[in-house]
Amino acid sequence: MPVFPATADYIRIAAVALAGGDIVAIPTETVYGLGANALDAAAVVKIFAVKERPRFNPLIVHVPGIEEAEAYAEISGPARKLMAAFWPGPLTLVLRRRTDCPIADLVSAGLDTIALRSPNHKVARSLLEAARVPIAAPSANRSGRLSPTSAADVEAEFGDKITILDGGPSALGLESTVLGLADDEVLLLRAGALPREALEEHLRRPLLSPAKDEAAGSPGRLAAHYATSTPLRLMATRPEANEAFLAFGPAAPAFDGPVINLSPHGDLAEAAAKFFASLRKLDAAGAKAIAVMPIPNHGLGEALNDRLRRAAAASSIEHQAKAAAPATRVLTR
Ligand code: TXA
Ligand code: MG
């Protein structure tokens, strides 16, 4: 049985396993993570292997708070203020690694930066406290797939290959917001569960977007990610026959095919919490496409639209690959 309830006993056992070099899927308030001791390169290698994650894509390291972060990264004034304001919570800061940073180089994928986050989830925090090591944890999905927001989602991704600590559904449902602070400016590397508006109000300046060539520095910005096997049709006002329908808000038209309204009241937080699970469900409906209604682009809508755009790019690439597969076989025969 790979899924264990997050009782005090199992948290203790999982902490010992993590500190000893095993990987364990853990709940956080954003999405489930695939955790490993960040100090242990052999443990971190297992994450890349199980996820089939490209080695050039660095991992987020989870820490209890600012004090621990100081051992790993150079923390500028603005970074410290952001941590004080938003930690624990869904904010990841990419900072310059300290020269004596003991975290495995593999975690940073060869970059001179490190991504740090302090999760706001009881189980994740208890684990960090008990394991007494920083925990590297990317989202617990196979590389390029939808992020998991429940233990069952993780199990569906990996079967009994990994141990999962079940801490209930993730309350926020979208990954953390990632900011780049290694230089003087503050870059929004990934929109996420902490909306841009809250950060800009705190910083009293707009967040910058990384230049195109800088996107290589944050490989998670790959255009195609969060793939469903059903193609997505974005900005749909109404679904067509044989489609599934991901609706949003009170204006959603009625539909007698597979349909989920992310929030009939138009509440973006509710939509975020239901987002990945809803996409998974509609993806399993065997429809020719998933029609997705427009979602407003403010607040959490920015991250939702980012995930939708990348999912659409990924599913169309996958679709083309599938369509091309027979021809490829003929060529190689
Ligand atoms: O909410 C979250 O952030 C979840 C939970 C488990 O904490 N984790 C998560 O990890 O989403 P992952 O690996 O799926 O996404 C990490 C993102 C990727 O886009 C990665 O490229 C970026 O953070 N990242 C990590 N380290 C980086 C670095 N040193 N420089 C730039 N980007 C980095
Ligand atoms: Mg991910």
Q: How many CB atoms lie within 10 A of CB 327?
A: 9
200 Cα to the center of ligand 2, angstroms: 24
pTM of the model: 0.94
The residue whose CB lies within 8 Å of the most ligand 1 atoms, and thus the one to mutate among 139, 164, 188, is: 139
Cα 94 off chain centre by: 15
pLDDT above 70 as % of the chain: 91
Measured distance CA(270)–CA(252) in Å, rounded: 16
For residue range 117-152, list pLDDT tens digits in order.
Answer: 999 999 999 999 999 999 999 999 999 999 999 999
Residue 114 scores a pLDDT above 60: yes
Binding site membership of 154 for ligand 1 (Cβ less than 6 Å):
no
Question: Is residue 26 within 8 Å of residue 167, measured between CB atoms?
Answer: yes
Q: Is 30 in the pocket of ligand 1 (CB under 6 A)?
A: yes
303 lines ligand 1 (CB under 6 A): no
Mutate to test the pocket of ligand 1, among 30, 32, 59 (most ligand atoms within 8 A of CB): 59
Nearest residue to 171 via CA among 260, 78, 273: 273
Output the DSSP codes for 23-84: -EEE--SSS-EEEEETT-HHHHHHHHHHHT--TTS--EEE-SSHHHHTTTB---HHHHHHHH
Read off the pLDDT of residues 146-198 as tens digits, 9 standing for 90 and up: 999 999 999 999 988 899 999 999 999 999 999 999 888 899 999 999 999 99
Kindly state if the Cβ of 108 falls inside 6 Å of ligand 1: yes
Q: Is 94 in the pocket of ligand 1 (CB under 6 A)?
A: yes
**Could you give the angle at the alpha carbon of 313 between the alpha carbons of 310 and 315, nearest 5°?**
105
Strands 113-117 and 91-96, sheet pairing: antiparallel
Half-sphere exposure of 132 (CA within 13 A, CB side): 2
